[in-house]
Amino acid sequence: MTTRDSIPADLVRDLMIEAGYRCAVPTCRTVEPLDIEHIEDYAVVRKHEFSNMIVLCTNCHRRKGTGPRKIDRKALRIIKQNLSVVNQRYNELERRILEHFVENADDRYVLLPETPVLFSYLIKDGLIVGLSGSEVKEALHGETEGGRGFHITRGYALTDDGKRLVAKLRESAEAI
């Protein structure tokens, strides 16, 4: 019998935060008891990685598998991919901003309308930060919005925390 390393506390915390301290299955959302589950079985991967782990209640954990009414690995990967951005914290615009950075790994910033109330949780959570006027000008390549002589855009860049979240989202997306 092989020994199994315990899951590091920081990893458990990150997984619990990602799931909102609830079962990750959107139609369940049970608060307890909760299990930390490997999407690809630990016996196969032999390591604990954020991108391969998910929080499930005991009932949903028992439903993991293949066959009718079972939660298969592909479903768990899709649930995992959507967790961080669908856990009721971020609105549609905020999710699209994060998706932009996931899909465009080389982008350093994104230009948005000068209405930060629409993406205030990304700012409050320290995931994006406003660019300075010169950085916005660089982003626009020295031109005003649409070449019409007015400027209603502000640039936002990922913070280090934002980069870490986007990296986790990208890992989850690549696992599907």
Residue 57: the pLDDT is 97
Is residue 55 a contact partner of residue 23, using CB atoms and an 8 Å limit?
yes
Which residue range(s) make up the domain with 23?
Answer: 9-86
Q: Is the pLDDT of residue 9 over 90?
A: yes
Q: Report how far residue 143's alpha carbon sits from residue 151's, in angstroms, rounded to the nearest whole number.
A: 9
Note whether 18 and 51 are same-domain residues: yes
How many residues are there in the chain?
A: 176
Burial class, 9, CB count within 10 angstroms (exposed 0-12 / middle 13-18 / buried 19+):
exposed
Domain presence at residue 3: no
Q: Report the percent of the chain where pLDDT is more than 70.
A: 84
pLDDT digits (tens, 9 = 90+) for 13-50: 989 988 888 999 988 889 999 999 999 999 999 999 99
* Cβ-Cβ contacts under 8 Å for 27 (sequence gap 6 or more): none
Note whether 29 and 48 are same-domain residues: yes
Note whether 14 and 79 are same-domain residues: yes
Note whether 69 and 23 are same-domain residues: yes
Domain boundary among 86, 101, 134: 86
For 88, what's the count of Cα atoms within 13 Å in the CB-facing half-sphere?
Answer: 8
Note whether 109 and 159 are same-domain residues: yes
Note whether 125 and 144 are same-domain residues: yes
Which pTM does this prediction carry?
Answer: 0.57
pLDDT digits (tens, 9 = 90+) for 122-141: 888 888 988 877 777 776 66
| Of 139, 129, 111, 127, the residue nearest 167 (C-alpha) | 127
Domain boundary among 38, 66, 86: 86
Q: Report how far residue 70's alpha carbon sits from residue 27's, in angstroms, rounded to the nearest whole number.
A: 14
Note whether 97 and 169 are same-domain residues: yes
- Lowest mean pLDDT segment, chosen from 3-7, 52-56, 63-67, 90-94: 90-94
Note whether 22 and 74 are same-domain residues: yes
Note whether 76 and 104 are same-domain residues: no
Domain presence at residue 69: yes
Number of domains in the chain: 2
Note whether 68 and 134 are same-domain residues: no
Domain boundary among 39, 67, 86: 86
> How many angstroms separate the most distant Cα atoms in the chain?
71
In degrees, rounded to 5, the angle at the alpha carbon of residue 59 between the alpha carbons of residues 83 and 74 is 45
pLDDT digits (tens, 9 = 90+) for 51-81: 899 999 999 999 999 998 899 999 999 898 8
Higher pLDDT, 152 or 94: 94
pLDDT class for 96, splitting at 50, 70, 90?
confident
Residue 149: the pLDDT is 44
Residue 119: the pLDDT is 86
Strands 153-158 and 53-57, how do they pair?
A: unpaired
Domain presence at residue 1: no
